[in-house]
Amino acid sequence: MAEFGRRKWVIPGGRIPFHSTGREPDFTSRDELAVLNAGYSDTNLAITLFYPDREPVGPYELVVKARRTRRVRINDLIFPEAVPLDVDYAALIEADNPVVIQFTRVDTGHAETSWAGGIAFPSRG
Amino acid sequence: MGLDQGCHNWSGSLRFRPSRIEAPRTEQELASLVRAIAAQGRTLRPIGSAHSASPIIVTDDVLVSLDHLKGLYEHDERSQQVTFGAGTKLTEVGECLHSIGLAMPTFGDVATQTVAGAIGSGTHGSGRQLYNLSMVLIGGRLVTADGEVREVSFEQDPDFIRALRVSFGTLGVFSSMRLQLEPIYDLHRQEWCCQIDDCLSRLDEISRENRNIDLYWYPRCDEVNLRCLNPPGKEPDYNAFARLIDDRTGPSHKVIPKHSNLPHRFEEMEYALPAEAGLDCFRELRRRIKSKWRRSVAWRLLFRYIKADDTWLSEAHGRESVSISLHQNSSLPFWDYFTDLEPVFRDYGGRPHWAKKHTLRADDLRPLYPKWDDFMMLRRRMDPQGVFLTPYLKMLLDA
Amino acid sequence: MGDIGNRRWAIAEGYIPGDSSFEDPALISHEAACILNPGDQDANVAITLFFTDREPVGPYRVIVRARRTRHLRFNDIDDPEPVPRDTPYSSVIESDVPIVVQHSRLDSRKAEVSLLSTVAYSQG
């Protein structure tokens, strides 16, 4: 399989919900990245988080092994700093080999709410 | 530790400016220094690795480093006793002991402190049958407030040793410490990750069937890391409700301390509760953290066991104990978090760790320690002038 | 219409919950790759699944006929082996002709669960 994915990824619309209902960790409300490394080399990721009214925080460093997938809950990132819940943020993820990243929000706070969303369409150039 | 920049503790939250920093090269130099300071009516504070997060290390007068008073001074094979310079780092103690066939019965979670600092501040590991580190101290040479050197030993004066064991430099400055040890031993470390409810329902059993046992609870996902250490061949199997995430065997001094260096700075509050209150206290803390504090706190809580001892100012004096520690990244606000939860600890009869963050003073502490008055009388007798006191220690001990 | 689509796709976020609140097949928790073959040739599609802590599994082979869609439920594929439930996985979908793939999931475990999922923006 030839190289599959990209080295730079952005999630502009992060916000980890505060309330959770049900047994955790299964039903912990969270923002989560699914990272696929379909290649044959372990890949280093560096995540930088951006905020509305202060300097960016990072890098949060992780490894995704070759031919594996890894889930990263943004809530669980602690070093260099715990990520605040219920606060708008954006994430920049840089990888030293191509990876594919999908972003998911699980919100178990209230029965009546339901999320929808997606990356906006980018024009060429 | 350049004087023009002042000093700070490991985490950075304590910054202070001593008038002078001294690093005596011998016991005689240390004794002369104390004599001179006493004669000038000034004060002196010894310092180890500056790992402490409480102001017991802070001084605006003379700070004394014991960096040069280190190494193995004596070793008695028959009695399994050794004497180390008080400034010897625990990592060096571990390696050195191993090379002569001896070992400490336990270690704390880190091994960056000096032996005098770790013992004197009440450092402990975790296990129902494991005392804190101070219990290995059975003697040594102490420089007293008048600059004399006094040989102390449990055989001669057991009560004095019980007072000295956790006294964080207020009764004198050790130049060397004699320790009672045991033969080297290997341990098999296994760390298990499980859901909090699965852990709490079995906790009593788990705590009794492991030699060293403590747990990390993660506020952001309600999971627990059970850290178990046992002689190889005697490990319980928790596969039914947990998954194994770390598994290694090795000599005790390498396997017990989890963190040999600490790349991430944190602030910490720790209280020791009577063991029978530990779980209820933890449940209340968890409820409060989940409903309010996990918005800004992700770092784990650490839940540990300490065997009851008779050390006068030990966190575990007179009662089987459980200690619970709160952590926060150093770069984030922590006082609001700590002070919001501190009343919970106090409600359950908690005693604060001497070297971690807390807000208690003498009036709050005295009712917690049956030997408080005895200790204070001894301290006044040994150091009437307050050579070893600082403004913080005066408030802490009502001296 | 042979120039619409791609020959290789990845869905990084795969997860089939083992639980559902319903027994009606339409409401059982499920995960699907919705595949469009807009061209004039049948597409031979091979799917490989990646896991967190074991070797990848596949290929799962399916055919998407010319000018047809196929909503492929990951719950229903089982050759070489069924997709484990309650287990995070990723999938790579390869085709000999261009196709377009969309990922969808229904999670009917509890009333309170709400999901939003999107491929992040990428470059480089």
Q: Are residues B240 and B341 both part of a single domain?
A: yes
Task: Indicate the DSSP class of residue B261.
Answer: S
* Residue A37: closest C-alpha in chain C: C50
Contact B294 A85 (CB under 8 A): yes
Buried b (16+ CB within 10 A) or exposed e, B105-122: bbbbbbbbbbbbbbbbbb
Domains parsed from chain C with CATH numbers: 6-17+28-106 (2.60.290.11)
Q: Which of A62, A55, A119, A124 is nearest to A93 (CA)?
A: A62
In a domain, residue B376? The reply is no
pLDDT value of position C123: 66
pLDDT more than 90, % of chain A? 81
Decide if A40 touches C, using CB distance below 8 A: no
C touches B (3+ CB pairs < 8 Å)? Answer: no
Tell which of B27, B45, B65 closes a domain.
B65
Residue type for position B97? L
Q: What span, in angstroms and rounded, lies between the C-alpha atoms of B351 and B273?
A: 7
Pick the closest to residue B298 from A25, A24, A79 (CA basis).
Answer: A79
Q: Give A-chain residues touching B11 at CB under 8 angstroms.
A: none
> Mean pLDDT in chain C?
88
Confidence at residue B241, expressed as pLDDT on a 0 to 100 scale: 97
In a domain, B382, yes or no: no
Are residues B201 and B347 both part of a single domain? yes
Dihedral (CA of B328, B329, B335, B340) sign: negative
Q: What is the pLDDT along chain B (399 residues), one digit of tens a residue?
A: 445 568 999 999 999 999 999 999 999 999 999 999 999 999 999 999 999 999 999 999 999 999 999 999 999 999 999 999 999 999 999 999 999 999 999 998 888 899 999 999 999 999 999 999 999 999 999 999 999 999 999 999 999 999 999 999 999 999 999 999 999 999 999 999 999 999 999 999 999 999 999 999 999 999 999 999 999 999 999 999 999 999 999 999 999 988 767 788 999 999 999 999 999 999 999 999 999 999 999 999 999 999 999 999 999 999 999 999 999 999 999 999 999 999 999 999 999 999 999 999 999 999 999 999 999 999 999 999 999 999 999 999 987
Helical segments of chain B, H only = 27-39, 90-99, 115-120, 158-165, 196-200, 203-208, 252-255, 278-291, 335-347, 362-365, 372-382, 391-397
Local structure of B75: helix, strand or coil: strand
User: Would you state the structure tokens that stand for residue B81, as one six-digit string?
Assistant: 């006793």
Report the candidate in B29, B37, B27 with the shortest Cα–Cα distance to residue B69.
B27
Phi and psi, residue B56, nearest 5°: -65, -20
Residue C109: pLDDT above 90? no
The answer to whether residue B16 is domain-embedded is yes
Same domain assignment for residues B213 and B316: yes
- pLDDT value at position B319? 98
Cα dist. A74→A77, A81, A92, A106, B328 in Å? 6, 11, 12, 12, 17
Domain count along chain B: 3
What φ, ψ does residue B363 adopt, rounded to 5°? -60, -35
Distance between A5 CA and the closest CA of chain B, angstroms: 30
Would you say residue B322 lies in a domain? yes
* Residue B152, CB-side half-sphere exposure with 13 Å CA sphere: 28
* Helix, strand, coil in percent for chain A, rounding step 5: 0, 45, 50
Give strand pairing partners of C117.
Answer: A104
Q: Looking at CA atoms only, how far is residue B317 from chain A in angstroms?
A: 35
Q: Is residue B61 part of a domain?
A: yes
Tokens matching residue B222: 């309600």
Q: Which long-range contacts link B60-63 to residues 24+ away (Cβ below 8 Å)?
A: B60/B16, B60/B17, B60/B18, B60/B19, B60/B390, B60/B391, B61/B18, B61/B19, B61/B20, B61/B390, B62/B18, B62/B19, B62/B20, B62/B21, B62/B22, B62/B33, B62/B37, B63/B7, B63/B18, B63/B20, B63/B21, B63/B22
Task: Quote the distance between the C-alpha of residue B384 and its chain's center.
Answer: 27
pLDDT band at residue C110 using 50, 70 and 90 as cut-offs: confident
Closest of C32, B346, B298 to residue A16, by C-alpha? B298
CB burial readout C48-63, b (16+ within 10 A) else e: bbbbeeeebbbebebe
Partners of residue B212 on adjacent β-strands: B229
Q: Same domain, yes or no, for B215 and B285?
A: yes
Nearest alpha-carbon partner for C112 in A61, A26, B34: A26
Token duo for residue C98? 């261009």
Mean pLDDT in residue range C59-82: 93
Query: Is the domain of B209 the same as that of B325?
Result: yes
CATH number of the domain encompassing residue B45: 3.30.43.10
The tokens for B235 are: 């490990």
Q: For residues A88 and A14, what is the distance between their CA atoms, to the nearest angstrom?
A: 6
Based on the fold, state whether residues B93 and B162 are members of the same structural domain: yes
The pairing of strands B223-230 and B182-183 is: unpaired
Q: Is residue B76 part of a domain?
A: yes
Task: State which residue of chain B sits closest to A31, comparing Cα positions.
Answer: B220
Q: Is the peptide bond before A25 cis (omega within 30 degrees of 0)?
A: yes
Q: What's the CATH number where B167 sits?
A: 3.30.465.10
Q: Which domain holds residue B9?
A: 3-65
| B221 shares a domain with B341 | yes
pLDDT tens-digit profile of A27-38? 999 999 999 999
One-letter amino acid for residue B170 of the chain: T
Angle separating helix axes B278-291 and B335-347, nearest 10 degrees: 150
Closest CA to B210 of B230, B224, B225, B193: B230
Q: Is pTM beyond 0.95 here?
A: no
Which residue from C50, C113, C116 is facing A69, i.e. has the nearest CB?
C50
CA A14 to chain centre: 8
Which two tokens mark B135?
A: 């219990």
Q: Which residues in chain B have their CB less than 8 angstroms from residue A78's CB?
A: 264, 298-299, 329
| Last residue within a domain, chosen from B43, B65, B87 | B65
Both B38 and B89 in one domain: the answer is no
**pLDDT computed for residue B1 by the predictor:** 45
Assigned domain for B9 exists: yes
pLDDT at residue A116, rounded to an integer = 77
- Average pLDDT on A52-80 reads 95
B256 and B303 assigned to the same domain: yes
| Cα–Cα distance measured from residue B55 to residue B69, given in angstroms and rounded to the nearest whole number | 23
A90 CB near a chain C CB, below 8 Å?
Answer: no
Say yes or no: B124 and B172 in one domain: yes
Nearest alpha-carbon partner for A8 in A39, A38, A42, A48: A48
Tokens at B69, concatenated = 């008073």
Domains of chain A: 6-106 (2.60.290.11)
Whole-angstrom Cα distance, residue B399 to residue B366?
12
- The predicted pLDDT at position B2 comes to 46
What is the CATH number for B297? 3.40.462.20
Token pair, residue B45, equals: 């504070």
Within this chain, do residues B159 and B279 fall inside the same structural domain, yes or no?
A: no
Window C:77-96, CB contacts with A under 8 Å: 88-90, 92
Residue the block writes with tokens 């969270």: A30
Cβ–Cβ < 8 Å for C37, C99 = yes
CA of B127: how far to CAs of B25, B205, B225, B304, B321, in Å? 37, 13, 15, 7, 10
**C123 Cα to chain A: minimum distance (Å):** 5
- Which residue shows structure tokens 């050794």? B82
Lowest mean pLDDT among B291-295, C9-13, C21-25, C68-72: C21-25
Q: Which residues of A touch B (CB under 8 A)?
A: 18, 23-25, 28, 73, 75-86
Q: Are B87 and B48 in contact (CB under 8 A)?
A: yes
Verify that B198 and B298 share a domain, yes or no.
Answer: yes
